[in-house]
Amino acid sequence: MNEDTDDIETQLRRWRPVAVRDDLTRRIALDLEGPHRQRATWWQRLGFRHPMAAVGWGLAAPALIILATLHLDAPGPGTAIAPSVRAAHSSVPPREPTTMQATRITNRRYQTNDEGVVLTREQRPMRQTRYQSEDTIAWQDARTGTQLEVSYPREDVVQIPVTTR
Amino acid sequence: MGSQDFSDDWRACFAELGPRLLLFARQWLPSVADAEDVVQEAFIRFWRKGGRRASANQGLLFAAVRTAALDHLRHESRRRRREQTALDENILPAVTACEEPWLIPDEGTSESSGELDAALRQLPSEQREVLVLKVWGELTHDEVGAALSIPTNTAASRYRYALGNLKKLLHATCHERGH
């Protein structure tokens, strides 16, 4: 029995499973790396390991800014501000309104589910297909080159009437 | 741990295990698209639940694919029952059996995959799943047992029966062809 099975086992090992299509790897990448992936918590995104550390820094930062502003705005007696600094302060041009323009709109479908035949309220048979896709809109400020991109998931359900005899 | 490492890990893991997982799923699901959906679902769920250890514990990943495939089958059978209730029997075309091969030969092997695929499909499912996990999943009998929730000895005996049956089936095919 062993010799027999060894023989067939050797024969089987000369075969290998059919390769996975690139599309499947892309779909998994979209799930694991795309907008639907499990997101890090807000404090992890800010680079903190513990939420209290983030809260602490969050409270400390405005306090420091307020203190620094008070210190700059109210110089003590005898403190002279250099004319060049004063000039620079006053010569900052007023901020212009942004000129963001949409440059790209894409729709990437990553899953199609045929959900079979369903009945409407009127008992009419319809074939229902659910499409899941990701829409992306990109804007660019022509003046400064600033780019903004927003992606969000979308789900479409399409029903096509089925002809009955 | 940066996201780049995470990404590289899953890609390496999937490049290695993806074809085996797909082969395993296709035992139950005749459509390649369905099998791909199941592998996608199982792999993503597994990876999010700590899949970094996937390469060290492949049996769990195969078990996840099996569970997803059986869930899919149950869902499909419910759907078909609904459709049958809603419609006359002959309105929808019957699902054609998938003819795409499960296996391809290594370089230097001149045989066609049709006979082997056909023989594999004829094996009892409990033998076939053990065979696939052992030969192409490269799991040990212990790991096969753990993945299928059966004792190791049962996995080993099913494997022996599967090899014996497969040999008989291939032999019969050769005779039919007049070899």
| Cα separation values, A18 from A151, B14, B48, B99, B136, Å | 34, 14, 26, 13, 11
pLDDT by residue (tens digit) across A101-136?
888 888 888 888 888 888 887 778 888 899 988 888
For chain B, where do the domains classified as CATH 1.10.10.10 start and end?
101-179
Q: Which has the minimum average pLDDT: A42-56, A128-142, B74-88?
A: A42-56
Q: pLDDT at position B55, please?
A: 57
Mean per-residue pLDDT for B39-56? 77
Structure tokens belonging to residue B37: 């959906």
Report yes or no: B22 at the A interface, CB cutoff 8 Å.
yes
Q: How confident is the model at residue B6 (pLDDT cuts 50, 70, 90)?
A: very low
- DSSP assignment letter at B179: -
Structure tokens belonging to residue B131: 């065979």
pLDDT at B162 over 90: yes
Q: Is A158 helix (H, G, I), strand (E, B) or coil?
A: strand
pLDDT at B124 over 80: yes
Q: pLDDT at position B65, please?
A: 92
A94 part of a folded domain: no
Mention every residue, 6+ apart, whose C-beta is less than 8 A from residue B3: A33
Nearest-CA residue of chain A relative to B84?
A117
Q: How confident is the model at residue A50 (pLDDT cuts 50, 70, 90)?
A: low
For chain B, where do the domains classified as CATH 1.10.1740 start and end?
1-96
Spell out the alpha helix ranges (H) of chain A: 2-12, 22-33, 42-45, 51-73, 83-90
User: Are residues A105 and A70 part of one domain?
Assistant: no
The residues of A whose Cβ lies within 8 A of any Cβ of B are: 1, 4-5, 7-9, 12-21, 23-25, 27-29, 31-33, 38, 115-119, 125, 162-165
pLDDT by residue (tens digit) across B52-67?
655 567 888 899 999 9
Among A46-50, B52-56, B76-80, B86-90, which range has the highest average pLDDT? B76-80
Cα gap A148→A140, rounded to integer Å: 6
Mention every residue, 6+ apart, whose C-beta is less than 8 A from residue A117: A125, A126, A127, A128, A162, B82, B83, B86, B87, B92
| Cα separation values, A72 from A43, A66, A79, A89, B171, Å | 31, 10, 10, 12, 93
CATH 2.60.200 fits B1-96, yes or no: no
Among A7-11, A59-63, A69-73, B137-141, which range has the highest average pLDDT? B137-141
B69, burial (CB in 10 Å: exposed 0-12, middle 13-18, buried 19+): buried
**Quick one: fold of B101-179?**
Arc Repressor Mutant, subunit A (1.10.10)
pLDDT at B163 over 90: yes
A121 part of a folded domain: yes
Cα gap A55→B150, rounded to integer Å: 51
Closest CA to A155 of A129, A122, A121: A129
A109 part of a folded domain: yes
A32 part of a folded domain: no
Q: pLDDT at position B4, please?
A: 33
pLDDT by residue (tens digit) across A55-73?
777 777 777 777 776 666 5
Beta-ladder partners of A127? A117, A160
A117 part of a folded domain: yes
Q: pLDDT at position B95, please?
A: 42
Q: How confident is the model at residue B92 (pLDDT cuts 50, 70, 90)?
A: very low
A14 part of a folded domain: no
Number of domains in chain A: 2
Interface of B with A in 44-63 (CB under 8 A): 44, 47-48
Which domain range does residue A114 map to?
Answer: 100-161
Interface with chain B: mutation pick from A117, A160, A165, highest number of B CBs within 10 Å: A117
Q: Is A90 helix (H, G, I), strand (E, B) or coil?
A: helix
Structure tokens belonging to residue A21: 């299509």
Cα gap A111→A133, rounded to integer Å: 7
Which of A14, A117, A165 is opposite residue B109, by nearest beta carbon? A14
A1 part of a folded domain: no
Structure tokens belonging to residue B130: 């053990």
Q: How confident is the model at residue B113 (pLDDT cuts 50, 70, 90)?
A: low
- DSSP assignment letter at A38: P
CB A86 within 8 A of CB A109: no
Q: pLDDT at position B135, please?
A: 92
Closest CA to B23 of B97, B103, B107: B103
Spell out the alpha helix ranges (H) of B87-151: 113-122, 125-135, 141-148
A147 part of a folded domain: yes
pLDDT at B155 over 70: yes
- DSSP assignment letter at B49: T
